Chain A
Amino acid sequence: MSTNPETARPEPLLPSAPVPSGTLQRLHRRLEAAAAEAGVLDVAYTVLDTPVGPLLLAATERGLVRVAYAREEHEEVLADLAGRLGPRVLHAPARLEPAAEQLREYFAGTRTRFDLPLDRSLSHGFRRRVQEHLPGIGYGSTQSYGEVARSVGSPRAVRAVGSACATNPLPVVVPCHRVLRSDGGLGGYIGGPAAKAALLELEAAA
């Protein structure tokens, strides 16, 4: 073969031809629908604006799999989901509409519990057991890390309860914000202390 470098230098005449406005958005929506129908959409996501900042919502075919605060860096969360759940991750709001609607109602103060299929495949073992217990803490009430540890039958695992809350992949929907320190201190929160305080205040006011 010749030693032609084959550099793909773009011809300025052509790539400058603009894509008509709206075309790529329309095609993206069409792809969202076609991918879901073909069953090739591993993870659908959208971003919902809320009083605690933009929340990334992601779902598999089985249910809501991830809620992420902006401070977790949505791009990094999506890259992580691509590695753990499959790389076919697409901005496809339709699959998230039930979750988005219930979260809007929650932040409006008109919803006190979530009724959504959840995909808990990101959690395992003790952490998952703790996270499955959390929805049992009712709207507007709280438990201490120690109380949660007793509730799941491991009264000495207080620190492990703390890390189970800290790694909750479904904050807000799975209410780790309702778990406080036994001295009444806020404790940590994946969305930051201000978000935790805001959720507790919202629930106290309703």
Chain B
Amino acid sequence: METKQPFETLVAQHGAVVWRVCRAVLSIPADAEDAWSETFVAAMRAYPDLPDTADVQAWLVTIAHRKAVDVVRARARAAVPVAVPPEPPPHRDAAPEHDHPVWAAVAALPPRQRHVVAYRYLGGLPYRQIAELLGGTPEAARRAAADGLSTLRRTLATTDLEGEDR
């Protein structure tokens, strides 16, 4: 019987991918960190029962999607009782110089395109699985990805990408 890898290996191999997915879907860095944490704690809880044949990255990205939804809901709930207009989030804890221009460009996409781009191009999910997560057909997800990507290319072509060294 194949035994499971130590969970540490999963964090080392997929931690960055999950962060990028969370960061693309959630435009506030602190929200992305919350979603990352919730994703890996939930993954740890479920890991002993994960079939050995499972695609670990796809599994983590799927959990990240659910946790990102939770973070957005929690933020919306927290905003409801407040009668005044919501203030900008208090903790933009990533310093501005760390905020790569790609994230502003992704954040400016329509929500559906943003999600599809995140799960397809950062998370590596097939369109069939993206459609299961977001609703709609795989073909519609493919179109949204193409539209989102061409918008991103246009936006980023006019942005200084000097900081992009990797």
Which residues on the A side are within 8 Å of B75 (C-beta)? none
Which residues on the B side are within 8 Å of A87 (C-beta)? 3-7, 47-48
Q: How far is the CA of A21 from the CA of B152 in the complex (A)?
A: 24
B126 near A8 with CB under 8 A, answer yes
B6 near A6 with CB under 8 A, answer no
Nearest CB in chain B: distance from A12 CB, A: 9
Complex: chain B residue closest to A37, CB-CB: B41
A88 near B15 with CB under 8 A, answer no
Tell me whether A90 and B33 are in contact in the complex, defined as CB-CB below 8 angstroms, given that A13-B156, A17-B103, A35-B44 are known contacts.
no
Q: Among the listed stretches B63-71, B81-89, B116-124, which one makes contact with chain A, having 4 or more residues with CB under 8 Å of it?
A: B116-124
A31 near B126 with CB under 8 A, answer no
Q: How far is the CA of A170 from the CA of B20 in the complex (A)?
A: 40
B19 near A38 with CB under 8 A, answer no
Q: How far is the CA of A131 from the CA of B34 in the complex (A)?
A: 45
Which residues on the A side are within 8 Å of B163 (C-beta)? 18
Which residues on the A side are within 8 Å of B8 (C-beta)? 45, 78, 89-91
A30 near B37 with CB under 8 A, answer yes
Chain B 107-141 interface mask (CB, 8 Å, partner A; 1/0): 00000000001001110111110000000000000
Q: How far is the CA of A197 from the CA of B149 in the complex (A)?
A: 64
A90 near B11 with CB under 8 A, answer yes
Task: Scan residues 1-40 of chain A and give those whose CB is less than 8 A from a CB of chain B.
Answer: 1, 4, 6, 8, 10-11, 13-21, 23-24, 26-28, 30-31, 34-35, 38, 40
Q: Is B98 an interface residue (CB 8 A)?
A: yes
B15 near A14 with CB under 8 A, answer no
Interface majority SS on B: helix, strand, loop or mixed?
Answer: helix
Which residues on the B side are within 8 Å of A184 (C-beta)? none
Tell me whether A88 and B41 are in contact in the complex, defined as CB-CB below 8 angstroms, given that A79-B3, A81-B6, A82-B3 are known contacts.
no
Task: Scan residues 127-181 of chain A and give those whose CB is less than 8 A from a CB of chain B.
Answer: none
Q: Chain A: interface residue count, which band?
A: 35 or more
- CB < 8 Å neighbour of A79 from B6, B24, B117: B6
A88 near B20 with CB under 8 A, answer no
Nearest CB in chain B: distance from A22 CB, A: 9
B19 near A15 with CB under 8 A, answer no
- CB < 8 Å neighbour of B128 from A6, A18, A38: A6
Task: Give how many A-B residue pairs fall within 8 Å (CB-CB).
Answer: 122
B45 near A27 with CB under 8 A, answer no
Nearest CB in chain A: distance from B22 CB, A: 10
- CB < 8 Å neighbour of B166 from A16, A24, A38, A78: A16
Nearest CB in chain A: distance from B150 CB, A: 11
Which residues on the B side are within 8 Å of A82 (C-beta)? 3-7
Nearest CB in chain B: distance from A31 CB, A: 5
Known pairs A31-B44, A87-B47. 17 more at Cβ < 8 A? A6-B128, A8-B120, A14-B24, A16-B164, A17-B164, A18-B165, A19-B19, A21-B98, A27-B36, A28-B11, A28-B15, A30-B37, A31-B41, A38-B41, A79-B6, A86-B48, A89-B6
Q: Which residues of B contact A (CB under 8 A)?
A: 3-8, 11, 15-17, 19-20, 24, 33, 36-37, 40-41, 44-45, 47-48, 94-95, 98-100, 102-103, 106, 117, 120-122, 124-128, 149, 152-153, 156, 163-166
Q: List 12 A-B contacts (CB under 8 A).
A: A13-B102, A14-B20, A17-B100, A18-B166, A24-B19, A27-B19, A27-B40, A28-B15, A83-B3, A87-B5, A88-B44, A90-B44
